[in-house]
Structure 1
Amino acid sequence: MMMPPFRTEYTGDILIVDDIPENLQLLFEILNEEGHEVRRVLNGQQALKTVAVDPPDLILLDIKMPILDGYEVCKTLKADHQTANIPIIFLSALNDVLDKAKAFSAGGVDYINKPFDVYEVLVRVNNQLKLLETTRTLTQRNQELEILNRDLEAFNYMVSHDLRRPLTRLLGFCELLADGELGVADRAEAMEIISNAGTEMNQIISDLMRLATVSQGELQLEMVNLSTMAIAIAAQLQNQNPERQSQIDIAPDLIIAGDRRLLKIALENLLENAWKYSSEKALTKIDFFQADNGHFCIRDNGIGFDSNQQNQIFTPFTRLHKERNFAGTGIGLTIVQRIIQSHQGQIWCNSKPNEGASFFFTCGMQL
């Protein structure tokens, strides 16, 4: 019976391990022709070293090899949490049921007999890459659901506490005005309180909308000069508070690949935070630079916070300081984290009370 033509659905980075060069070459030609990225090694020791440096998507592993056979290589990889999830298809001329059982018990996911049948090789490889892609998609969606659940919990808290507070003030003073019992001076004060409450509610709603939309849509990548952007933001902050003594040092030519609009939002939030929490110092000091390890850093000499609060700081609607001292909705750093993560980067912080704070971030995007 003639097999139907095979069409590869998924391509991946595949490592072939076999001590017979002719087998390596044959599998290389089969898989390379289908668009896979294929690497080849001749023994188990080379396989372990290769995987440690650059893990592949899938491994085709011969069983019968000198010194370190396929079973041992597989067990070693499965014992390491960093390589345990790499699917392994065993290659062997052995057809005994016990040999296959041993291969699966060692951690293999499939088995290809020698001599190789092209159709069988392509189908089994495609099936494993398809399963791998499905697993990655499910993992990503689970992570997204976890974020959504955390946001929902924080949103519920914010609605029941943060939004209710200004709403209560607004309604209470509206009722006093409606009763007509306030004098002219008191009515003016009541109107100001109502206005401030409305402004606070509007800010909360605006921040919620920004958080909801910040990760939507594709990134518009270009080379962005963060230094130029930060200088403009810093100048705006200084113009808003001309009486404040400040020293803002921004290193030149801090350039990364990213979405200009989103990166500006991230920098605005980081620099505004540094400016706000340094307001009680006689001289506000803010530095923006790139460390020797390549990480970007925004450092201030502000009020800081305790190290055991660092895990909370990126949680939506979380404030580490009382609102009467530092106004805000507690959502700015969450927005920054989402933007950095959308750029395949990470953000973290170091701080001590009254010793300022340093926020570090990376960006993994490339043009």
Structure 2
Amino acid sequence: MAINSSYDTILVIDDNPTNLEVLHNALGSSGYDILVEMDGLNGIEQAKNHSPDLILLDVQMPGIDGFETCRQLQADPATSSIPVIFMTALTDTSHKVKGFQFGAVDYITKPFQQEEVLVRIQTHLKLRRLSLKLEQQNQDLEQRVQQRTAEVTKTLQELKRAQLQLVQSEKLSVLGQLVAGIAHEINNPVGFISGNLKQARLAMNDVIDYLRLYQTKFPDPDKELQQVAAELDIDYLLDDLPKMFMSMQMGVERICNISTSLRTFSRADADIKVCADIHEGIESTLMILQHRLKAQERRPDIQVIKNYGNIPNIQCHLGQLNQVFMNILANAIDALEDMSQDRSYQTIQHMPNQITITTEFIDDERSVIIRIADNGIGMTDEVKQRLFDYLFTTKPVGKGTGLGMTIAHQIITEKHKGTIAVSSKPGEGTEFVITLPIE
């Protein structure tokens, strides 16, 4: 029944026809809609079907009595909120207490006075209206609280995403400026050395050719020249000198490759994606982490196994993807180093630390998949569930911020509309699977 209904409906359940007639006439003349039943079971069904605003219930009836009828009404969610007033000739206190225990709101003793019945009905109908109004207000308030909570939660999530983007952008910006400066300072002297090495190598070859020709034309030098040639070991020197120039040239090329890898890794990403080679990004990341992959005093080198597939260039923010690769690979190295603490050098040589990088192109799904797996200590289910949570970290204070994998998840899912998943078990290693759609 609506709270503001003009007519209240009252259900009268009584097996006495005279009582029913009296109550029907009295209540009807007072403006109420009246429903009547003469036994408890039919009264319960009537209450379910029409949901009256109040029930007048006789205690002593054939079949189930008023107490049992009230109990069943209160037990049913559809009728439990309807106020019940008992009508009975039983006046002892124990019956009244029993009626209240079964859920009645009031007790009218027969023979009843018409004025008293009307006053009691009006009072309880008013209480019911207030109760329904209060319930509606509580529901509205709860709904507003839920709505406000959802708004606050959404705002908090947006603030977290904004903070992650600021942290990520700041890191890439600072790193990009640093690397650009280093690359500029390296490229100038390296370019100078590389250009002069080429000319010096040509000049050296000319000098060697001249000396070889001189030895041919004058095979019998005097004693002083023979003595100097022996001291210098001139034949070995002429053979070894080109090799030294070759080694220097390789060193210069190595420095150029490192500089290029640094610039590739920290490239500034514009708002618009560019077509890039994922393998190039992975290689630049591995180049930067090379010092951590090399053999150390407590362990041999970490083997990197590359199973590169034939994948196309994709539209992406390569600098940000490199940040994802860096976080995953650095965490893999940490896991392998933690595991190495409990193993001897010889044991690790027999069962080497490995990181396996696999890439493939799924033509049917138009996507590129990158798998990065290690045979380290693995993760528990609890760590896996919280791995991408904001500020979650398993590292000691001062070593990890808890932002790395959260940023990685944001870069893959939001920036590239891809997915990143992890599978791991303690002692069985960890594998990250990144799926990037091809736009």
Q: Normalised by the shorter chain, which TM-score bucket? A: 0.3 to 0.5
Larger radius of gyration: 2
TM, length-normalised to structure 1? 0.43
TM, length-normalised to structure 2? 0.36
Structure showing the higher helix proportion among its residues: 2
